[in-house]
A and B are shown apart, each in its own frame.
Chain A
Amino acid sequence: MPVLVEFLEKLSFLVGTPAVAGLALTASLIVVSGDWRLSLLALLVQYVLAGLLSTRLLPLQLAQIKIYVGLLTCPMLYWAARRVVWMRKRHHRPEDPPLPPWPALTMGLPFRVLGMVLIGLAVYALGPTYPLPQVPGEIGLACYWLGLAGLLGLILTDEPFQAGLALLTFLTGFELFYAGLESSLLATGLLAIGHLLLVLIVAYLTIARGVGPVISREASE
């Protein structure tokens, strides 16, 4: 798609340290933020930045696949979250006991911020000591950051939406690293298919979890 190529060329000034810093910021936002809209926006930016960094490791056509996956991912997750919010609003009645709140991160904000600070320290220590093979140092740092932030996010919650975003963050970090190791079309394509299926199951679980209380209430009525 020529539009995307032009878009990537316009953003090429970001490839390098700005993209790495952006990835650190977006991954931190996904882990720290309790607002689903903000988390989703951070995920979208994360996909674009990871795609931009992939252009240094993969042919442009293959790097584009990663951005397309991101562009497909975010609307699917947005639709799932929106549907949950809409269903809950539709079934909100003041006379009934309130529905359980929209699933949020279970640990408090200070704890999550502290967790991200520790992740930062771990990346600072791991990056130079155990540099990842076949990828430039700064991309290695981004991979470490995304991977560890994703793991932290998975530890902090068992709600499908937030845990799903954390899992996708981990996977994005790993794919970025793996792009330096393997550049075959089949492997990239299968990873992209798996990534999209993963998003689909996260959306499915988000809806199942989010509308569960509504359905229970309807069943009891």
Chain B
Amino acid sequence: MIAGPLLLISLPLIAAAVIYPFRRWSLLTATIAAATSLFLGLACLRLPLDAPSTLWRWTVQLGQPVIVLGRELALQPAGASVLGFTFLLSAVIFLLAGVIPQGHLFPPMSLTVLSMIGASILVRHPLFTVLALWLAVILAAFFVQGDRHDSVRGALRYVTMHTLAIAPFLVTSWLLDLHLENPDSVAPLRTLTILLTLGFGILLAIVPFHGWITAVAKDAPPLGSALLFTVENLAVLLLLSDLVQRHPWLLEDPLLLQGLTWGGLLTLMLGGIMAWVQQDFGHLLGYGTLSDMGGMLMALGTGTELGMQAAVTLILFRAVSLVVTGVGLSAIRRQRSSDAFSDMEGVARQQPLSTVTLILGGLSLAGLPPLAGFAGRWQLLNFFAPEHTNWCWLIFLAGWGVAFGYLRGLRAALSSPPEPKEHTSSPEPLISIIAAIATITLAAALGFNPRPILTLTARIVTALPMP
């Protein structure tokens, strides 16, 4: 019988090793990566955790814990839902990456990242969760950089900030172990919460530790950004939830939750304001994501189950928005080798569907109706409306800041070049058109009927009660 944790960690690694030699063949590698992710995603969401299931000739029990080098790896209900969504999202992204390539390293390295993210969710100790997350980040930096030579800022900042973040987490883990061994000892609560606030502040890109988000959004392949910003957020959310469930006394010091709330508010506002004035779609994507993350942090900072629900909903709908806008941005970057507004002249005529996808995805990220992102934003507004009406206005305005940024980009794309250039006459590839139509349909469908995502959110949150 195969234990679930081994399957979830080893299968992506094996698939990555198999496809790595063929990394130049984007369609082949992306298809294998998508099939692997789809299989694991469906397994996580469909198979029972507490009973063995038969998959072809193998018997698998997803919930069976395993001990690796003295550490227990186990799939919990919340982890199964999060991993299920993660793998399904990855399958969609890999399929899209097959038709709009995201770099030769993207499929194999993403699979290794998924394996490490899986390990971080499965291992039941914060020390190893953080170390696995760190390994995932370093591996992800390879596809963030990809084959580009003009900038290394995104990959460097991503790795640097996460390396700095592991220090407070590892010390926290030691202090918590010390407290577990000797509960009578006076736990240095303030030290712990300062360290945790610092660590989560970096991982969740709270201002002033937000620089890596915009740098990654600018340099990474857009679908890679969509994967990283979603998957990492979910893993960090699980880590936070796990920590406060095991050590509820951590919340006796209000610093952590207050840090999340006020840091979230600051992040939301900064994201909205900066998105307004950006001059390229890469940075705009980063600030749009940052603004959305600010809202998520504010909800999380309330420390309630409803707040957790609003936060998870925002992350899941943000994933959809990021995929949609990522498809458009990838298609345009492929043709133009740039995403600056100043280079967008005539794009709307040359690549109309890619432009529509890019802008609709951006407006969805801003939370405008009737797109998918609106459902998440609406839940957030509903959550804060009874007690914090002023915050609702700020959330609304931040969303408009992001929307305005995309509308400025649209204006640049609609403008005509002073004189027609040769490259502006090449038609939009059919495959890009199909990918654009598919993702726009997905965003619109989830906007009108958000039930599948809301059901998954409820499933995750039910398994993650806040203390």
Contacts and interface: CB of A to CB of B under 8 A. Distances in A.
Given A187-B127, A191-B131, A197 B70 contact: no
Contacts, number: 76
A205 B149 contact: no
B150 to A, nearest CB: 6
Nearest to A209: B152
Contacts of A191: 131
B150 A216 contact: yes
Contact of A186 (B69, B159, B160, B166): B69
Contacts of B174: 178, 181-182
Nearest to B147: A208
Interface in A147-164: 154, 158, 160, 163-164
A194 B135 contact: yes
A194 B134 contact: yes
A193 interface: yes
Contacts of B378: none
A-B pairs with the 10 shortest C-beta distances? Answer: A212-B149, A197-B138, A181-B174, A205-B152, A190-B131, A209-B152, A186-B69, A201-B141, A174-B167, A215-B149
B178 to A, nearest CB: 9
Given A170-B164, A205-B145, A208-B152, A187 B159 contact: no
B138 A208 contact: no
Interface of A: 154, 158, 160, 163-164, 167, 170-171, 174, 178, 181-182, 184-187, 190-191, 193-194, 197-198, 201, 204-205, 208-209, 211-212, 215-216
Interface of B: 69-71, 127-128, 131-132, 134-135, 138-139, 141-142, 145, 148-150, 152-153, 155-156, 159-160, 163-164, 166-167, 170-171, 174
Nearest to A214: B149
A160 B158 CA distance: 12
B170 to A, nearest CB: 6
B152 A186 contact: no
B163 A185 contact: no
Most chain B C-beta atoms within 10 Å of own C-beta, residue among A170, A185, A190? A190
A126 to B, nearest CB: 15
Given A187-B131, A190-B135, A201-B155, A167 B160 contact: yes
Contacts of A204: 142, 145
